[in-house]
Chains A and B, each alone.
Chain A
């Protein structure tokens, strides 16, 4: 294998999920795809065993910067599952609020990058512009734009200041209007529709076979969502719908994510409303965790985050297993990328939201005659959009 290919893009910034794609093409059609990971492996599971429970929450928060509250929530769920620890009602609402705000910011981030990949830089700038108020809300709630450090075993670390709630509500109303505008613009655009419809289809059978989760599975008609299947925190106290579509193409994945933003806004508003009236503590004092096993999971923006903790009665876990959603979503490329034109490959790869894909992807392409050539996929993808736009005029 030619090692001179620079892995500019091939990183995947989750736990162990850097990607180095090898696309096999026949002419313009992708025949097979292979990927190599390990560029991001930092050994979280191993390090967690040498840390106390509270310290390991700091560690799991740094698995991924975008899902930086989903991992701690799943980890505290796992640790609380060992002893069936109950948490106060106010803490439940705060957890849900932070988790849903994260979903809004993550989906907007994906929407922007997807626009960037197909040559819609306006969409990118829009989506990221209206993502800023969400980060501002995080700053008001937790004091940091990313890496909030809100989760503790038995509750949350800090309270939401009641005097700030009306301000948070105002920001929420404001971004809802803006996102509605983006959603309408994206839905009405004929170029976007013909560019994304029918591209990179993941069938329902493949989604089940590969055990896909999150929006990737829901766009293929598999109605799974941890928030409904095993409601914890405040998810059984708030009203929301899960979005399921049937086609499984990139367009459907976009639709699922766009509609989920509105559901998240709905949940956030309910939580903020409740936080005005629900009083009480935010954290139960947990002295120790007894020996046992616990499973915790949470619906991250990309799908189910899974944490498994085994304890032996000391203050640190014996085994801490982490499974991030992209770990099961990325292998679906094997099904969704076969037989599609090369120009569609980039957006199909980006469609499962394998975290933030870098601005440039350098992918090694092996032609059937074993000729190795490097193609700028981003350029190719944008050229196709441009072509569709010209044809429509």
Chain B
């Protein structure tokens, strides 16, 4: 596993999954790809299908209607696949934790390996988070 992880850390392909967010973390994730931050320099690439992904960036508090789809997407991912919760919503539920339409335990829907808090987290924070993940993968 650790041999594989080290190879994985060379060039992380991320898949962006929005599970009823307010859209803000999503535009900040896309912002990472544009000229100012340009994470493609480091081999981090946004891919369209979860089957190609090494890391899933999950944003948003998962609502009940979207939860089965989130589960299904995670099941389709080639393992090992790490899930990073971007923003306050996956971490604590933000202000939506009292809502009638959100799932209570997000970890039961999708196992989240790492959290990047912030509403929304700055792109620098996201890069920092991914770099830390790479550090963990390299052992």
Contacts and interface: CB of A to CB of B under 8 A. Distances in A.
Whether A and B touch (Cβ < 8 Å) is answered with yes
A39 B69 CA distance: 10
Interface string B11-39: 00000101011111111101100111000
Contacts of B20: 11, 13, 18, 39-42
Among A64, A125, A128, the one with the most B-chain Cβ atoms within 10 Å of its Cβ is A128
Interface in B62-78: 63, 65-66, 69, 72-73, 76
A147 B95 CA distance: 14
Contacts of B24: 62, 65-66, 68, 146-147
A62 B23 CA distance: 9
A356 B22 CA distance: 11
Among A50, A58, A59, A360, the one with the most B-chain Cβ atoms within 10 Å of its Cβ is A360
A356 B120 contact: no
B73 A6 contact: yes
B27 A38 contact: no
B73 A39 contact: no
B99 interface: yes
A132 interface: yes
Interface in A1-30: 6-8, 11, 13-14, 18
A109 B23 CA distance: 13
Given A38-B65, A65-B120, A128-B34, A43 B23 contact: no
A129 interface: yes
Interface in B49-85: 49, 61, 63, 65-66, 69, 72-73, 76
A42 B101 contact: yes
Contacts, number: 113
A125 B30 CA distance: 11
B94 interface: yes
Given A11-B20, A65-B120, A356-B30, A58 B72 contact: no
Interface residues of B, number: 38
Nearest to B15: A8
B35 A7 contact: no
A355 interface: yes
B69 A6 contact: yes
B26 A65 contact: yes
Given A42-B96, A65-B120, A356 B23 contact: yes
A359 B22 contact: no
Contacts of A356: 23, 26-27, 30
A135 B31 CA distance: 11
Given A11-B20, A132-B36, A47 B99 contact: yes
Contacts of A147: 24, 119-120
Given A42-B102, A145-B28, A359-B48, A64 B72 contact: no
Given A40-B63, A42-B20, A47 B120 contact: no
A13 B24 CA distance: 9
Given A18-B20, A145-B122, A59 B26 contact: no
Nearest to A146: B24
A11 B76 CA distance: 19
Contacts of B48: 8, 359-360
Given A42-B61, A47-B95, A112-B34, 11 more contacts: A13-B20, A13-B22, A50-B98, A63-B22, A64-B23, A65-B22, A65-B25, A125-B35, A128-B34, A128-B35, A146-B28
30 contacts: A6-B76, A7-B66, A8-B73, A13-B18, A13-B22, A13-B26, A18-B20, A18-B66, A38-B65, A39-B20, A40-B20, A41-B20, A42-B61, A43-B102, A62-B94, A62-B95, A62-B96, A64-B22, A65-B26, A66-B24, A66-B27, A109-B27, A125-B35, A129-B35, A146-B27, A146-B28, A358-B16, A359-B30, A359-B46, A359-B48
Interface of B: 16, 18, 20-28, 30-31, 34-36, 46, 48-49, 61, 63, 65-66, 69, 72-73, 76, 94-96, 98-102, 119-120, 122
Q: Which 3 A-B pairs have the closest CB atoms?
A: A65-B24, A13-B23, A128-B34
